[in-house]
Amino acid sequence: MIELSAPISVVWEITNNCNYKCPHCRAYQEYNKENKKIEDSIIKDLIDSKVMFVNLSGGEPLLNPRIFEIAKKLYSNNIYIALSTNGSLYSKYREKIVNSGIKLIQVSLDGKKELHEKFRGIEGSYEKAIEALKMAKEDGLRTQMNVTITSSNINDLKWNYEKAKELHIDKVFYRRVVPYGKAKINKYVLPEKRLYYDKIKELSELDCEDLNVSIDDPILNVLNNKENIEYIACGAGINNLGISSEGDIYPCIFLRERLGNIKTEKLKDIWNNSDILKKLRNRDIEKCGECEYKYSCGGCRAFSGINKKDEFCPL
């Protein structure tokens, strides 16, 4: 298994606050005040660890009043910055976004207007998402449409592909909904497994020169019978980490298995010494760790935890 001295990429939830009401989200609507001291510690650790890529996420990251200060500091230290947003505030902060060093805009879009707005719980959210993608493209930023696959949009996922082509988006990124946060309670958002298998296989065949299609699910390698251990489908704890707005560190932002906190521990120390990360890197996982696909797949740990078999496994 590959061993790195530090994570290549980090997803950092710079706020837990959000202006939407999505039934699957790991963030909540309660107002949490951002902590400058924690943020400064995270910035220092990201720079000292020579992390190459940081995705500023949330909640809605544009609700953090320091976001542009944070982005500029990271960018000035040669870190590539992405922004994951619902699109609602892009037009308001358009100039600041462009001037902050942010290079990639990722906008969540669940599907057609009625579907998207019902899922997000906000009227006008569809137009805001489309507007943000269009503006970001005009501004010369790389653009990505993020699509969480749920029971609501499972039968119409190709629509996102066609819409992304229409808008000349650089990439459409599909990922399985994870039963954490609200999705742990709202189990109805989980798609039916057999239908899910068929859909992600179909989507994986859409990748083309005009539009990069990415399916963020390791079990796709099992479905496509790929055993190549040189390709690691899940990078949780192998090449990436997640950090919460409170400074908690996770193997990935969806796998809420706490490794430590930036207030008392260094990112690099956690990366090099965590028993949980060693377990993930060695694929020391019940059932999944015994599978012939353990390196090319290994299951989605965020979905089933660090010990159990991936509940969506087709085998």
Distance of CA 150 to the CA centre of its chain: 15
Instruction: Provide CB contacts within 8 A for 274, sequence distance 6+.
Output: 237, 259, 260
Q: State the Cα–Cα distance between residues 239 and 232, nearest whole angstrom.
A: 10
Which pLDDT value is given to residue 51? 98
Judge whether 39 and 66 are in contact, CB under 8 Å: yes
Q: How far apart are CA 147 and CA 133, in angstroms?
A: 14
Question: What does DSSP assign to residue 62?
Answer: G
Edge-to-edge strands of the sheet including 260-261?
212-216, 171-176, 142-149, 102-108, 80-85, 53-57, 9-13, 240-243, 248-250, 260-261
Partners of 213 in the β-ladder = 172
Evaluated on CA atoms 53, 300, 306, 38, the torsion sign reads positive
What pLDDT does 225 receive?
83
Residue 245's nearest CA partner among 32, 74, 85 is: 32
- 201/215 Cα distance (integer angstroms): 9
**What is the structure's pLDDT at 103?**
98
Q: Which pLDDT value is given to residue 27?
A: 58
pTM for the full predicted model? 0.93
pLDDT along the chain (315 residues), means of 10: 86 91 60 84 97 96 97 98 97 98 97 93 95 98 97 96 97 88 67 95 92 94 75 83 96 94 96 94 87 88 88 90
Please report the pLDDT score of residue 29 as a whole number: 47
Whole-number Å distance between alpha carbons of 33 and 305: 29
What pLDDT score does 228 carry? 58
Write phi, then psi, for 170 (nearest 5 degrees).
Answer: -75, -35
* Rounded Cα gap, residues 239 and 307, in angstroms: 20
* CB proximity list for 178: less than 8 A, separation 6 or greater: 24, 26, 254, 300, 302, 303
